[in-house]
Structure 1
Amino acid sequence: MPQGEAIVAVLLRADRLLVIRRGPTVSRPGYWQPLSGRIEPGETQRQALLREVREEVGLTVVPLAKVWESETDDGRYRLHWWTARADEGLVVPDPVEVAEARWITPEEFPALDPIFEGDLEFFDRILPSL
């Protein structure tokens, strides 16, 4: 059973979405993924989304909807997947948590390496139906 709750932010701008490469000091460094982070005690999913996005890439976004739920491959976290509009602003990655950030089309995601199996499932199965 997952110990923690975390948010995954699927940030949309035109026909692209933001992916980050995990920084060297976080667990599983080097992996490409949508932005994510722990939900703090007393925080709603929407609040966690806004805070994590601001902290990790400096953007102010508009949360849209929760679109999926999954678990991390190690079973430690339940992930709440939210879409959000990120129509403006410059991406300024926090160098501690984010090694690189890139706006990609959904079709480009599977070519990134390495990626998590669960994220691939989202891009394959969930995102096309949204």
Structure 2
Amino acid sequence: MSTRPLDEVQARTSFARFRVASIVEGIALLILVVIMILRYLVFPDGPGHETWSTVSERWSPIHGLIYMIYVVLGFDLWTKMRWKLPRMLLLMLFGVVPVLSFFGERWTHGQVERDLASRPTLQDEERGEREHPHA
């Protein structure tokens, strides 16, 4: 971790975007899982298979785009927080395993709060100046 102060405003803004992306990605992945179950298990052949094949062909690229946005926003948060590489890999994993993005978002929120409380921020310096002007 770097000794340079973090920008708390940028970090919180980045996390807010990541939080939304985590929820959207989690929902999109669950939809994809349901589509795949219907396509391959419920209607493997016969009536309904063609419908779920078409739905799958349409939803899969949409989900792919949502995941790519999630990855970009995860990378943005990772760079703002100046975390090490394993944390970035963990953020990416959260978006791949169904339902994990919801738990990962909560865990990441705790990590952001912990790091902002324990590491120096630019806003700490500003708050110190307001508390002790002309010191």
User: For this structure pair, what is the TM-score category when the shorter chain's length is used for normalisation?
Assistant: under 0.3
The TM-score normalised by the length of structure 2 is 0.23
More helix by share: 2
More strand by share: 1
Q: Which has the higher contact order (CA 8 A, sep 6+)?
A: 2
Larger Rg belongs to: 2
The TM-score normalised by the length of structure 1 is 0.24
